[in-house]
Amino acid sequence: MIVKISEIDNELIVKGKMEGSQLTMSDENEFCFLSPVDYSFAVRKFENLIRINGSMHCTINLICSRCLDEFVFPIDTYLDVEFSPKVLTPKVSELELKRNELDIYYYEGDEIDLDPLIYDEIVLNMPVRPLCEESCKGLCDACGKNKNYEECRCDKVSNTLLGEQLKSLLTK
């Protein structure tokens, strides 16, 4: 979605829904969209700085890092970012970045493309190690069964003293 800077008076409200397919930036997605991205942003201009803040939410599909099952993950986030014109020297903006907590983006000419911003925000809100549930039991190391669905006997054997002895015997 493109925002035209010349069209911002005091404050410009941009809101709507966007299909995930519009945002897809690379083929290396580890998720897919289960819902459109619902967003509502306020865009304000301070001299040549553009400040954008507001909320967005969507639902995505992730793969559990323990059991490899797919699960639904809602993203509900508030973003607050600043766009500076690209002509500023990088040194100045790096300093800015250290001084305040805001993420700094750059714009060129009269247009700001919000798509990369929305996409980044989704990726930032994704868990590093996705889990279908905190208590996910994962896959059995020995037989590969999903222990959330099925009890296997591997644990029972290896947890007993006999099992330990058997294990060390087998690995020798």
- Contact residues for Zn ion, defined by CB under 5 A: 64, 66-67, 132, 136, 140, 142-143, 152, 154
Least distance CB 20 / Zn ion (angstroms): 23
Least distance CB 100 / Zn ion (angstroms): 38
**Closest CB to Zn ion among residues 25, 142:** 142
Least distance CB 155 / Zn ion (angstroms): 7
Least distance CB 126 / Zn ion (angstroms): 15
Please, what's the b/e burial string for 125-137 (b: 16 or more CB within 10 A of its CB; e: otherwise)? Answer: beeeebbbeeebb
Q: CB–CB of 42/12 below 8 Å?
A: yes
**Closest CB to Zn ion among residues 14, 140:** 140
Tokens of residue 54, six digits? 């507001």
Tokens of residue 134, six digits? 């905190």
**Closest CB to Zn ion among residues 45, 66:** 66
Q: Indicate the residue type of 73.
A: F
**Closest CB to Zn ion among residues 27, 134:** 134
Least distance CB 84 / Zn ion (angstroms): 42
For residue 91, what are the contacts with CB-CB under 8 A and spacing of at least 6? none
**Closest CB to Zn ion among residues 57, 66:** 66
> In sequence order, what E strands does the chain have?
2-4, 11-18, 32-33, 37-46, 49-63, 70-85, 103-107, 111-113
Distances (CA, A) of 135 to 31, 64, 66: 21, 12, 10
